[in-house]
């Protein structure tokens, strides 16, 4: 039961972080288009933090999912 609640919490955080990333890039970039006309640019500041948080939360979500399957 506790593992399921933790998984719901992590998934809600993951959804929030992904939505914050898409909001900053615009609708065209969210669909795969180029934003700003640049081919390559580095992530800085909050954008980089959100990107790293997304990766971390995906790893935690997958790990918790495997643990919850093992415990049932």
Residue 61 forms part of a structural domain: yes
For residue 6, what is the enclosing H or E element? Answer: helix 2-25
Q: How far is CA 70 from the centre of its chain?
A: 24
Does this model's pTM top 0.95? My answer is: no
- Asked whether the beta carbons of 47 and 3 are under 8 A apart, the reply is no
User: Per the domain annotation, does 23 fall within a domain?
Assistant: yes
What's the domain count of the chain? Answer: 1
Q: Would you say residue 17 lies in a domain? A: yes
Range of the domain at 51: 2-28+42-71
**Does residue 51 lie in a domain region?**
yes
Per-residue pLDDT for the chain (72 aa), expressed as one digit of tens each? 888 999 999 999 999 999 998 765 555 555 555 555 555 667 788 889 999 999 999 999 999 999 988 877
DSSP of 9-62, one letter per residue? HHHHHHHHHHHHHHHHH-HHHHTT--STT-S-----THHHHHHHHHHHHHHHHH
Whether residue 35 is contained in a domain is answered as: no
């Amino acid at each position: 039961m506790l593992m399921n609640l933790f998984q719901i919490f992590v998934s809600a955080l993951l959804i929030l972080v992904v939505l914050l990333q898409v909001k900053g890039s615009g609708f065209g970039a969210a669909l795969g288009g180029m934003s700003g006309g640049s081919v390559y640019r580095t992530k800085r500041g909050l954008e980089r933090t959100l990107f790293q948080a997304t990766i971390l939360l995906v790893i935690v979500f997958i790990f918790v999912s495997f643990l919850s399957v093992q415990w049932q």
